Each structure stands twice: as C-alpha cells, then as structure tokens.
Amino acid sequence: MKWQRRARARLFELMMGGKRPENVAPVATVLSREDPSGANYTLEELSIPTLPDRAVHCWMAVPRKPRRGGRPAILALHGHAGTGEQMVRGESLYWYGPEAARKGYIVISPDIGSHDLQHADWTLMGERTWDALCCVDYLLTRPEVNPARIGTMGLSLGGETVMYVAALDERIGVAVSSGWLTTVANMLNGHCTCFNFPGLEETFDFSDIFSCVAPRPLVLELGMQETAPGGFPVEIGREALAKLQRAYRVFEAEDRVALDIHDGGHAFVGKKGWAWLRKALRAE
C-alpha cells in the first residue's frame, strides 16, 4: 500500500541519517563455534558488517541436521541489558532462544542494547534496527536457511525492535512482539528515553508503525501484571490494538493480528506466538 511505503521511507529518514542506508555485503567473521552438550544445534559467534564503519556482534544457533529446501529462521531479539549470547543460551529472560533452536529453527540474535550512538545524525533505535535488518541479509546468504521462511520475535526492547524490523522489511513473514504494545504517550511516562528520536512523536504512534506489518501475521503479547508508569499495561495495549486493527481491516486480514494476554508480568510466554510462527513459517 502507498501509505505503508511512505511510512517506511519516513522511518528510514528519521532514524537513519536522512535516508535508507546502502547495504554492505554481509560477509561474516566467525569468532567462535561450539556444540553445546545435549543440544541438537551448533552455536556460532559472529561479527557481521552493517555499514562501512560498523559491524554487529551476534550469535546463531544452527540445528545440526540439514533439511531439504532449508530451515525456517528466526531473528530473536533481547531486551534492555540483554545480549545475543544470553538469547541463544537461554539465560535471564530468554528461554525462548534455545527453545526455538530445539524446535528446528535457525536462530540469529544480535546485540542491540547499546546506548552509545556511533553516528551523530542517526538515532539509537536506527542503529539497533539497521543492525537487526543486516542480520536478515546475512541469513539469506546461509545455505541452511529457507529464504521464504523468516520470522522475528522479541521481548521489551526486543519487542520494540521486532516492530521496526517487521514494519521496514517485508521479508519478515511473521512477527511476535512481547512486552511492547503501547503508545508514545505511555513511553514518555517513566521509560528509558532511548526509544525516542526527533520526529517520532510528531509523525507516528506505535500502532502506525505496527500497521506497516499488515497483512502479515503479527502476535502481540502482554502480561496482566504489567503496570504503569514504567510498564506496558493491557488497557493501553488494547487501545493501540484497536488502531492497529484498522490497517488489517483494509487488507481484510483481521484474523492475522492477535493480542495474546497472559497472567504474568514482563515476560515472553509464546502461547499463540509459537503456533503462529509454526503456521506462517511451515515449520515442523
């Protein structure tokens, strides 16, 4: 849709130095490789160039058994203070990284938590999102990956980055964003300011950005124990969902967006998320 194309172009402009960056060849340097005891996958530590003067540090979990036609892949994104290594090892809040690998997905997880801005004309969310998008470029170079079956999932900052990645990159076939569905107004009330950048408040609410994912499948998770300020309460999420559903209605695809509410707090649960990933990516 034209409005989606305009919105994507504007996001690149606001977040990434005035325009969509030029891609660089995603030729990775392998920093380490190991076969975790008892696991059905290999772990790889990688450095992938994302700009001529920038590289992203990331980890991959690659199931050892090859599959004809390639395996589905997931870009798995951590929250504040997390790392890609924690994701693939299942540390802290990120049990879902190795779970995805056990289910047969190739999992790539970049470090996206830096609060140090490298390029003065960019934004923190721009650098984080571009690094994540370049990980998708790298996935497409791997013969183990089926390029038509790529999804993304993440919690908190990871859920926020899922929003941007899925909105900006139509190669993402399905997205699961946990602990993030909210409004700009709520984020201005007690949250880390790293989410914000000049032009965001004047141009978008987060439901507008999520609308760029339509009509692709999108699961949004929130916990009943989330509170404000400083959290992501369900009642605010419902307001954002109502606006987002209008975009899916345009595509006659209202059944492809779901708000999955669980009884917990700020956590990835995956009740609907795993099922939607499996269906959309045709995974075993």
Nearest one of 239, 95, 236, 199 to 153, comparing CA atoms = 95
Indicate the angle between helix axes 2-15 and 124-139, nearest 10 degrees.
Answer: 120
CATH number attached to the domain at 2-281? 3.40.50.1820
pLDDT of residue 282: 86
Place of tokens 């470029």: 137
| C-alpha separations of 80 from 45, 111, 118, 167, 191 in Å | 20, 10, 18, 21, 11
pLDDT of residue 230: 79
Tokens matching residue 168: 């900006």
What gap in Å lies between CA 125 and CA 123, rounded to an integer?
Answer: 5
The answer to whether the CB of 144 falls within 8 A of the CB of 106 is yes
**pLDDT tens across 254-284, in order?**
999 999 999 999 999 999 999 999 999 987 6
The count of other CB atoms within 10 Å of the CB of residue 201 is 13
Label residue 211 by pLDDT band (50, 70, 90).
very high
Adjacency order of strands within the sheet including 174-178: 29-34, 41-51, 54-63, 106-110, 71-77, 145-155, 174-178, 218-223, 257-262
Q: How large is the C-alpha radius of gyration of the chain?
A: 18
Place of tokens 């470090």: 111
**pLDDT tens across 68-88, in order?**
999 999 999 999 999 999 999
pLDDT of residue 284: 61
**pLDDT tens across 84-101, in order?**
999 999 999 999 999 999
What gap in Å lies between CA 247 and CA 7, rounded to an integer?
Answer: 13
Cis link prior to 52 (omega < 30° from 0)? no
**pLDDT tens across 98-153, in order?**
999 999 999 999 999 999 999 999 999 999 999 999 999 999 999 999 999 999 99
pLDDT of residue 183: 97
Residues with Cβ within 8 Å of residue 95, at least 6 apart in sequence = 268
pLDDT of residue 121: 97
Residues in the chain: 284
Domain ranges of the chain: 2-281
Q: Taking 80 as the threshold, does the pLDDT of residue 55 lie above it?
A: yes
pLDDT of residue 172: 98
